[in-house]
Chains A and B, each alone.
Chain A
Amino acid sequence: MSRKRKLEDPQSSLPTPGGPPYAKKISFNQKQIYKEAVPITDIKVSSFAEHRAIEIQAMTELVKDTGGNHTAFQKLPRHMRRRAMSHNIKRIPRRLHAVAKQELSKTKAPGKRPSRRHRRRPSNLLSEYERRKRKIGWLETHIWHAKRFKMVEKWGYRLALHPNDKSIRACYRAVKHHCLLQDVSFEACIELKGPRQTVLDGLRHLTSSDTGLTFAAKITSNGTRQGHLTLYTMDSYPVKAIGPVTYMWRAQPNDKDPESVSKLNTLWISCHPSIYNDVWNEVQKCFGAQRAEDYNSRSMESTLVLKDEEKVTIKSLKDQLVKFRLFGPASNLILAETLKLADTEISKVSSSERQEVVENPKRKSFWWKNYYSSADMKQRFAKQSELWSKVSKCQSPSEAPPNCILALTVRDPRLLLPPKKNKVKTTNFESVTQALPMDLFDDGIACSPLWESCIREELKATKFSEQELNLMKSKHLVPGTPLELGDMESRIPIVLIQRPGVWNSVASQTNPSHSSGWDLMIPSGFAMAFWVALVYRGARVGGIREAKSICLQAGMLSPPDDYPDSRAGQVELKTECELREAKHNRMPPAKRPNFVKLGFVSPFSFEFEKLTKEWVDKWCCAYDSKCEIKKGIPKDLSVMRNLKMLRLMQSSSKNPKGYCKDRSKDKTFNNNQEQSVLMKILSTEIGRTLISEKLFSLIPVRLCILQRGVPATYGHICLPSQEDLKVLDGDKTFGGPFEPKHKDPGQAARKEERKERLRLRKRKKRGKGKKEKVVESSEDTKEVQLDLEVKLEVSEENQGGKEVDSLLKSTSRDIIGFVKSGDFDLATGQGLGFGFCSVAALLALIENQKHRRFCLALVRNPTSLQYRFATISLLV
C-alpha cells in the first residue's frame, strides 16, 4: 500500500489548489486509482467497522451532548451568545434555527396565573380557602384572625396564638376593666342521650367523688348550672387522668321529677380538642362498646343498646357549636348591646316586603313559630327576657350566680351593627342595681332550642348571606336605615354560661371578680355575625397566649399542658421540650447558658418521676418509724386531686404556726411533746391515708415572688435552709441566696479540643497555597475533626450520666418541684409562677417552717444562679 501511495502522490497533489477546471480531472484520477487499488487482505472491513461501531456511536453521542440538558443556543460558546436569543429566534446562528425551532415548539409557555383581581373575587377566594381548610381545621372566624394574629397549628386546628400588635398590657387591662374576647369554638362537644340513671352509671367509671362533684351532682342536674370535673381513664382513678371537662344537662322544666330514673335526658360534655379522642373512646367504652370500630373517632354517632333494652346515643357535636369566651366586667355591657331579644310573636310585615320575601324560596318553615306556640314556652321566654334585662344592667358578670346557664333567643346581630367600631359606654347612669333575685334562676331559664339539632340545621340553611343582606340594604331609599325583615329574620337561640373567674383559693389575694365573664354558645354558621358585632362594641380579642396568662393569674389550670398526668398533657410537654432544646442547640456555645455550670440536670424537661421517688426515699429514711408508708413505686405519674386532702394540706401550709396551735388546743396534746405539723396531720383519718398513699403524687402550687424576679418554665422550686430564712428575717430586702457555681468537668477537655481544632484549621488554610499537599492535609483534618466530634459527644454525655444519678444532690438547696409556667403579674407588679411539687417534699417544707406564718420556697430559673424567695400556696 505504501508503494502505491508513493506512486500516486504526484498526481493527487495536483488538485490541491482546488478549482473548477480540475474537478473533472480529479474524479477521473480517483476512479483510476480505485480501479487500480490492490484489494486489502489484512483488514476485514465489515468486522473492523462492526467492532468500532459502538465506540463511534458513543463518541458521537458524547459530542452531540456537550452542554448537558441545555437548549440549542445555550450550547453556544460564550462569544456567540446574544441578548434575548430565547425571545427572537433570528438572533441564533442560522445553522441552529431548525434545532431551536423544534425545541421551542416542544416547550409550552406556562399558563398565565390568573390576575390578583380574579383570584380575590369572593367565590374564587372561597374555593381557595376550602382547599386550604381540608388539611387542617379552621374556625369560622379564621380569616378574621389570620389577618390580625400569629397563627399556629395546634390540636388539629389552625389557631390564633396572639395578636400582631403590641398588646400584652392592653389585653390585661381589657380583662381588668373592660372586655377580652376569645374564640374557643375548638372545644369539642359530645352529646349523650339516654335514661338518666343509665348515663350516670356508665359515666361513674370515669369520675371519682373524691375530686369534688361528679356528673350526678344535684346542683347541676336540673340544667341551670354548668359543672366541671376531671375525667380519668375507665376505673383507673387516681392515675391516668384524661383532662378537665365541663358538662351541662338539658333543662327539662316540664318534668315534675328531674331525678326520675327512667327519664330520657341529654348531657353535653365539652372538652379540649387535645383530649377529645380520649374522652370519646372512654365514654364509648363505658357504655360497652367492645370492638374498635364501634368507637372509631371518625364516626359521628353511635347508638349503644345496653342489656335492659336501654339505648344510649352518643353523638359528636364537634364543630357544630360555636363558643366565644368573654372575660372582664364590661362583658355584661357588650353582650347587652349585642344581644337584642328576638320577637317570637308572628309579626305583621308590609305587603311589599312580604312579597319580596315570599319570592325567596329558602325559607319555608319558621322554627320559632312552632317552638313558641305553646303558652308554656311563651311564658318561659318572657321570664328569660325579664332576667336578661336585669342581668345586663349589672356592672360585672360575677354578680350573677356562679356557673349559671341562661338561654335566650336573639335577633340577627348583623342587622343591629353600629356604623362604626367603638367602645360601649356604661348605659345605666341612673338606676341602682339590686342584688339579683335568686328565685328568677329556675330551670325554665336554661331551657333552650339550641339543644335541638333540627333547629340548628334549619337555622344554618335559612341564614341570609352577607351578600343578600347587602343587596336588600342597597334597595333602601334612604341609605343607612336599618333593615326590617320581619318574619324573615333569623331568630338565633343562644346559651350564656357564667364563669365565676378567679379560683376560690386565690380569690382572697386578688380582685375576686378578676377574669369572670360569660361563655356565649351559638349554633354554627353564625360565628362571624356575632364576632363582628362583639368586636364592634369594643371587645378586645386575645389568643391562646392571653388565655394562658389569664389562667395563670386566676390560679386556674389550662388544658392540656397543666395536666402532666394525662396523655395529651405529656404529648404537649414533650413537644415543648423538644422545641426548646432545638432552639438551645442552635445557639453557639458562647451564646447559650452552660447548664452544667448552673447546676441544671434537666434544663428542658420535668423529672417528676425521679423527684417523687427520691423524696419518698428520703421521707422513708426520716419518718419510717412514725408512720406507715405504702411501699412500691407506682408506674404512672399522678396528681393529687382529692379535695379533702388538698384542704388539709392547704390549711397546714397557709399558716403552719396557727395550724399547730389550733390543733393542740382542740386535742389534749402532751405539752412536753414538740409540736409537729406531721403529727397533727397524722392525728386525722384523712391525714393518715394521705401519708400512706399519696406521697408519690404531685401537687399544683402557686408561687408569688416576694421581691424581684420572674419564675421561668423548667425552673427549680427549692427548700430554703434555716440560714436563708434567718437572713431574710434579719433583712427584709434580702434578695435570696446564690447557688455556688458548679464545676464543668468537660470544660478543660473541650478547651483543648477547641485549640486543636483551631490549629488544624490554620494548618488547612496554610496548606491551600501548596497544591500538592491540599488533598492530603484536608483529609487529615477531616479525620481529626471527626475524631474530635466523637470525643466531644462522649465527654458531654459522660457529664450528663454522672449527675443524672441524683436530683436532690445536684444543687445546694433540695429541689422540691419544678416551675411549670411563670410570668410577670401585672396586677401585683411582681413575678408569679405555677408549678408542681412532690407531696412528700411539700410536707417536709411545711414541717421545716412550722414556726412561720406562711410558707416560703426558693425559686431558681434555669439561666441563673440566684435563688428568689416566693410564698407557696396550693390551688384547691
Chain B
Amino acid sequence: MQATGSQFDEEEYSLRKRLPPRLPLRPNDVYVSERTHFKAQENRCQKLLDSGNEVIIHGLGKAVNRAINLALQLQTLGAGTVQLATQTSSVEITDDLIPETDEGEARTSTRTNSAIHIRVFRACKEEEGQQKSESMDQTGTSAAASSSKS
C-alpha cells in the first residue's frame, strides 16, 4: 500500500487512492471484492455460468486469492464439466498526494498491483475447449477480446 518510488512527508501530504482503471463491464464479467459475501458471489457466478456457459472472474491485489478460490469452487461444483483458463496481469494504480500546506504541489505516485482474470467455461466438446483456451493465450493481455470472439 505504500507509494513506491516517492518519498513524501507524512505531515505535509495526505494520500488518497484513486479507483483502478477497469476492464470493460459486460454482463458476464464479475469483479471480485474482499467485502462481498463469498457465497453470494459464488451463486452469482453459478447463475451466469448456467445461463451463458462462460464467466470471467477478475480479482485485483488482495482479492486475487478470493478470485482463485471462487473459480476452483465453481469447478468442483461443475463436477468435471467446467474448465478454467487463467491470465495474470499488472494494473497500474495512481495515488494522489494532496498537500496539507499552502506551499505543497499536487503530486501523484503510481504503483502496480497484480491482477488475475479467470475464464470459467463449460466446454461442450473437448476440442472446442482447447481451441478457446489457445485463442485466449494468443490474445495476451486482454481477456475481453477472447470472450468477444466466442
Binding site for B on A (CB under 8 A): 209, 212-214, 216-219, 225, 394-396, 398-402, 426, 428-436, 438, 500, 504, 507, 511-513, 643
A435–B94 CA distance with the chains assembled, in angstroms: 7
Kindly report which residue of chain B lies nearest to residue A827, judged by CB atoms: B35
Given known contacts A216-B102, A217-B104, A219-B104, what 7 new A-B pairs fall within 8 Å (CB)?
A: A218-B105, A398-B18, A401-B106, A429-B26, A500-B16, A507-B16, A643-B100
Interface of B is mostly: loop
Docked CA distance A395–B24 (Å):
8
Residues of B contacting A435 in the complex (Cβ-Cβ under 8 angstroms): 18, 20-21, 92-94, 110
Please state if A401 and B99 are interface contacts (CB–CB under 8 Å): no
Chain A residues, CB < 8 A from B144:
429-430, 432
Q: How far does the Cβ of B137 sit from chain A's closest Cβ, in whole Å? A: 18
Q: How far is the CB of B27 from chain A (nearest CB, A)?
A: 10
- Whether the Cβ atoms of A504 and B104 lie closer than 8 Å is no
How far does the Cβ of A195 sit from chain B's closest Cβ, in whole Å? 18
Give the residue of A216, A219, A399, A430 whose beta carbon is less than 8 angstroms from that of B19: A399
User: Who on chain B is nearest to A400 by CB?
Assistant: B18
Q: Indicate whether B127 reaches chain A with its CB closer than 8 angstroms.
A: no
Chain B residues, CB < 8 A from A219: 98-99, 104-106
The 8 Å CB contact of B25, one of A209, A398, A426, is A426
In the complex, whether B101 has a CB less than 8 A from a CB of chain A is yes
Contact indicator per residue, chain B 31-71, by CB within 8 Å of chain A (1) or not (0): 00001000000000000000000000000000000000000
Complex-state Cα separation, A805 to B26, whole angstroms = 64
Query: How many contacts between A and B, using CB within 8 angstroms?
Result: 86
Query: Is the CB–CB distance between A433 and B22 below 8 Å?
Result: yes
Q: In this complex, what residue of A is CB-closest to B143?
A: A432
Q: Residue of A at shortest CB range from B15?
A: A504
* Chain B residues within an 8 Å CB radius of A401: 18, 96, 106, 108
Instruction: Write the chain B residue with the least CB distance to A213.
Output: B102
> Which 7 A-B residue pairs are closest in the complex by CB-CB distance?
A395-B22, A217-B102, A433-B21, A219-B106, A398-B19, A513-B19, A216-B102
Q: Say yes or no for B148: interface residue by CB 8 A criterion.
A: yes
Q: Would you give the 0/1 interface string for B84-121, flagging 1 where the beta carbon is closer than 8 Å to chain A?
A: 00000000111010111111111010100000000000
Instruction: Select from chain A the residue with minimum beta-carbon distance to B145.
Output: A430
Tell whether A432 pairs with B102 under 8 Å between CB atoms, given A399-B21, A504-B14, A504-B16. no
Q: How far is the CB of A504 from chain B (nearest CB, A)?
A: 6
Q: Given the known A-B contacts A402-B96, A643-B100, are A430 and B17 also in contact in the complex, defined by CB atoms under 8 Å?
A: no
B23 interface contact, C-beta 8 A: yes
List residues of chain B with CB within 8 A of the CB of A643. 100
Residues of A near B16 (CB, < 8 A) are 402, 500, 504, 507
A433, B106: Cα distance in complex, Å: 23
Residues in B whose Cβ lies below 8 Å from that of A426: 24-25
B133 CB within 8 Å of chain A: no
User: Is the Cβ of B99 less than 8 Å from the Cβ of A218?
Assistant: yes
Q: Does B75 make an interface contact (CB < 8 A)? A: no
What's the nearest-Cβ distance from chain B to residue A30, in Å?
119
- B146: interface (CB < 8 Å): no
- Nearest opposing residue in chain B for A441, CB measure: B106
Give the Cβ gap from B4 to chain A, nearest Cβ, in Å.
15
Known: A219-B104, A401-B106, A401-B108. A512 touches B17 (CB 8 A): yes
Give CA–CA (A214, B141) in the complex, Å.
45
A218 CA to B13 CA, complexed, in Å: 13
Name which of B100, B142, B148 has the most chain A CB atoms within 10 A of its CB.
Answer: B100
> Which residues of A have CB within 8 Å of B99?
213, 217-219
Could you tell me the distance between the alpha carbons of A260 and B58 in the complex, rounded to whole angstroms? Answer: 50
Contact B104 A218 (CB under 8 A): yes
CB <8 Å contact, B100 and A212? yes
How far apart are B42's CB and chain A's nearest CB, in angstroms? Answer: 20
Q: Which residue in chain A gives the minimum CB-CB distance to B93?
A: A435
Closest to B10 in A: A647
B residues within 8 A CB of A225?
106
Q: With A and B bound together, what is the CA distance between A772 and B84 in angstroms?
A: 101
Q: Please, which residue of chain A has its CB at the minimum distance from the CB of B103? A: A218
Q: Kindly state the separation between the CA atoms of A432 and B139 in the bound complex, as whole angstroms.
A: 13
Closest chain A residue, CB of each to CB of B23: A432
Tell me whether A434 and B14 are in contact (CB under 8 A): no
Q: State in angstroms the CA–CA spacing of A400 and B96 once bound together.
A: 10
In the bound complex, do residue A430 and residue B102 qualify as a contact, i.e. CB atoms below 8 Å apart?
Answer: no
A399 contacts B18, C-beta separation under 8 Å: yes
Q: Which residues of A are found within 8 Å of B26, using beta-carbon distances?
A: 429
**B19 near A396 (CB under 8 angstroms)?**
yes
Give Cα distance in the complex from A539 to B94, angstroms.
28
- 12 of the cross-chain contacts (CB-CB < 8 Å) are A213-B100, A217-B102, A218-B99, A219-B105, A428-B24, A432-B21, A434-B21, A434-B92, A436-B94, A438-B108, A507-B16, A513-B19
Q: How many whole Å from A400's CB to the nearest CB in chain B?
A: 8
A431–B24 CB distance below 8 A:
yes
Question: How far apart sit A432 and B145, CA to CA, in the bound complex (Å)?
Answer: 10
B54 vs chain A, min Cβ distance (A): 15
Known: A394-B21, A398-B19, A512-B17. A430 touches B92 (CB 8 A): no
Task: Please give, as numbers and ranges, the residues of chain A lying within 8 Å of B25 by CB-CB distance.
Answer: 395, 426
- C-alpha gap A90/B136 in the complex (Å): 101
Alpha-carbon distance A428/B19, docked complex (angstroms): 18
For the complex, give the distance between the alpha carbons of A209 and B99 in Å.
12
A399 closest partner in B (C-beta):
B19
Complex: A395 Cα to B96 Cα, angstroms: 18
How far does the alpha carbon of A513 sit from the alpha carbon of B18 in the complex, in Å? 8
List the B residue with the shortest CB-CB distance to A212: B100
Distance in Å from the Cβ of B117 to the closest Cβ of chain A?
11
- Residue numbers in A under 8 Å from B98 (CB-CB): 219, 402
| A396 / chain B contacts, CB cutoff of 8 Å | 19, 22
B20 to chain A, nearest CB (A): 8
Verify B101–A430 contact, CB threshold 8 A: no
- Give the chain B neighbours of A398 by CB distance below 8 A: 18-19
B93 / chain A contacts, CB cutoff of 8 Å: 435
Q: Which residues of B sit under 8 angstroms from A218, Cβ to Cβ?
A: 99, 102-105
Residue on A nearest B110 in the bound complex, by CB: A435
A434 contacts which chain B residues (CB < 8 A)? 21, 92
A354 CB to closest chain B CB (Å) equals 43
Max chain A CB contacts within 10 Å: which of B14, B25, B102, B108?
Answer: B102
Q: How far is the CB of A862 from chain B (nearest CB, A)?
A: 33
Alpha-carbon separation in the docked complex, A438 to B92 (Å)? 13
Contacts of B18 in A (CB 8 A): 398-402, 435
Q: Specify the chain A residue showing the minimal Cβ separation from B141.
A: A432
Q: Which of A219, A429, A434 has the most CB of B within 10 A?
A: A219
Within the assembled complex, what's the spacing in Å between the Cα atoms of A500 and B93? 16
**Distance of A504 Cα from B100 Cα, bound (Å):** 13
In the complex, what residues of B have CB within 8 A of residue A429's CB? 24, 26, 144, 148
A511 to B34, CA, bound (A): 11
Q: Tell me the smallest distance from the CB of A223 to a CB of chain B, in Å.
A: 13
A247 to B24, CA, bound (A): 35
Distance of A388 Cα from B98 Cα, bound (Å): 23
Interface-central residue, B92, B104, B106, by most chain A CB under 10 Å: B106
Q: Distance (Å) between the CB of A336 and the closest chain B CB?
A: 15
Q: A438 to chain B: which residues have CB within 8 Å? A: 94, 108
B81 to chain A, nearest CB (A): 28
Interface centre among A401, A433, A513 (most CB of B within 10 A): A401
- Min CB–CB distance A489 → chain B (angstroms): 33
Return the chain A residue nearest B142 by Cβ. A432
CA separation between A399 and B105, bound complex, in Å? Answer: 20
Q: State in angstroms the CA–CA spacing of A428 and B148 once bound together.
A: 13
Distance in Å from the Cβ of B25 to the closest Cβ of chain A?
6
Complex contact A512–B24 (CB within 8 A)? no
